[in-house]
A = this chain, B = another copy of it.
Amino acid sequence: MPKIEPKSGWKAKLHEIIYEADTPAGKFFDVALLVVIAISIVLVMLESVNSLNTKYYWHFYIAEWIITFIFSVEYILRIISIKKPKHYIFSFYGIVDLLSTLPTYLAFLFGGHNLLFAVRALRLLRIFRVLKVTRYIGESNRLLLALRNSRPKIIVFLFAVLIICIIMGTLMHLVEGEEGGFDNIPLSIYWAIVTLTTVGFGDIHPITPLGRFIASFIMIVGYGIIAVPTGIVTSEITRSQRGKIPKNTQACPHCNETKHLDNAEFCHNCGKPLNEH
Chain A: residues with CB nearer than 8 A to chain B?
41, 44-46, 48-50, 118, 121, 124-125, 127-128, 130-131, 134, 137, 139-140, 142-143, 146-147, 152-159, 161, 163, 166-167, 170, 173-174, 183-187, 189-190, 193-203, 205, 209, 212-213, 215-216, 219-220, 222-224, 226-239, 241
Instruction: List, in ascending order, chain B residues with CB within 8 A of A128's CB.
Output: 163
Given A49-B186, A190-B216, A228-B143: A121 touches B174 (CB 8 Å cut-off): yes
Minimum Cβ distance to chain B for residue A169 (Å)? 9
A199 to B156, CA, bound (A): 24
Contact A127 B166 (CB under 8 A): yes
Complex copy number for this chain:
4
Contact B139 A153 (CB under 8 A): yes
Contact A228 B147 (CB under 8 A): yes
Kindly report which residue of chain B lies nearest to residue A199, judged by CB atoms. B200
Contact A124 B238 (CB under 8 A): no
Q: Can you pick out 18 interface pairs between chain A and chain B where the beta carbons lie within 8 Å of each other?
A: A48-B185, A118-B174, A124-B167, A127-B163, A127-B166, A130-B159, A143-B228, A143-B232, A146-B231, A197-B198, A199-B219, A199-B222, A200-B200, A201-B201, A227-B230, A227-B231, A234-B234, A235-B241
Given A48-B173, A227-B230: A220 touches B197 (CB 8 Å cut-off): yes
Minimum Cβ distance to chain B for residue A154 (Å)? 7
Contact A233 B228 (CB under 8 A): yes
Instruction: List, in ascending order, chain B residues with CB within 8 A of A228's CB.
Output: 143, 147, 233
Instruction: List, in ascending order, chain B residues with CB within 8 A of A212's CB.
Output: 187, 190
Contact B121 A170 (CB under 8 A): yes
A203 to B41, CA, bound (A): 26
A128 to B163, CA, bound (A): 8
Instruction: List, in ascending order, chain B residues with CB within 8 A of A170's CB.
Output: 44-45, 121, 124
Q: Which of B156, B185, B202, B239 touches A203 (beta carbons < 8 Å)? A: B202
Minimum Cβ distance to chain B for residue A80 (Å)? 29
Contact B234 A227 (CB under 8 A): yes
Kindly report which residue of chain B lies nearest to residue A163, judged by CB atoms. B127
Contact B230 A226 (CB under 8 A): yes
Instruction: List, in ascending order, chain B residues with CB within 8 A of A130's CB.
Output: 159, 163
Instruction: List, in ascending order, chain B residues with CB within 8 A of A153's CB.
Output: 139-140, 142-143
Minimum Cβ distance to chain B for residue A234 (Å)? 4
Contact B220 A231 (CB under 8 A): no
Contact B167 A193 (CB under 8 A): no
Instruction: List, in ascending order, chain B residues with CB within 8 A of A156's CB.
Output: 134, 137, 139-140, 143
